[in-house]
Structure 1
Amino acid sequence: MADEKTTTDTVVVRPRRVVWMSGALAVVLLAVFVTVAVLLRSQDTGAIFMLSDQIAMVGVGVMMAGAAMLFATPVARADAQGVYVRNIGVSRRFTWDEVEAVSFPDGAAFARIELPDYEYYSIMAIQGVDREHAVEAVRALRRLHSAARRSDG
Structure 2
Amino acid sequence: MVDWELDVRPVRSARIAVAAAAVLLTTFTVGGIWLRHSSTGVTFYASDQIAMIVLGVVLAGAALLFTRPRLKAGAAGVVVRNLFGDKAIPWDLVRGLSFPDRKAWARIELPADEYVPVLALRASDKSHAADAVERFRALAARHTA
> TM range, normalised to the smaller chain?
over 0.9
> Normalization by structure 1: what TM-score?
0.89
> Normalization by structure 2: what TM-score?
0.94
What is the Cα deviation at residue 90 of structure 1? 2.5
User: Which one of 106, 109, 115 corresponds to residue 110 of structure 2?
Assistant: 115
Instruction: Kindly report which structure 2 residues correspond to 1:2-151, keeping only aligned pairs within 5 A, or say none.
Output: 10-150=5-145
SS of corresponding position for 1:117:
coil
Identical aligned pairs, as a percentage?
43
Matched residue type, 1:111: A
Matched residue type, 2:102: G
What is the Cα deviation at residue 85 of structure 1? 0.4
* Alpha-carbon separation, structure 1, partners of 2:76 and 2:31: 51
* Alpha-carbon separation, structure 2, partners of 1:72 and 1:93: 19
SS of corresponding position for 1:15:
coil
Matched residue type, 1:107: R
List per-residue Cα deviations over 1:22-65 (Å, max 9, x = no partner): 01101111111112112211112232211111111111001111
Matched residue type, 1:17: R
What is the Cα deviation at residue 73 of structure 1? 0.7
Matched residue type, 2:101: D
SS of corresponding position for 1:41:
coil
SS of corresponding position for 2:42:
coil
Corresponding pairs, count: 143
Q: Which runs of 4+ in 1 moved over 4 A?
A: none
Q: Point out where structure 2 has 5 or more consecutive residues left out of the alignment.
A: none
Q: Point out where structure 1 has 5 or more consecutive residues left out of the alignment.
A: 1-6
List per-residue Cα deviations over 1:97-145 (Å, max 9, x = no partner): 0011111111111111001111111111111000000001111111111
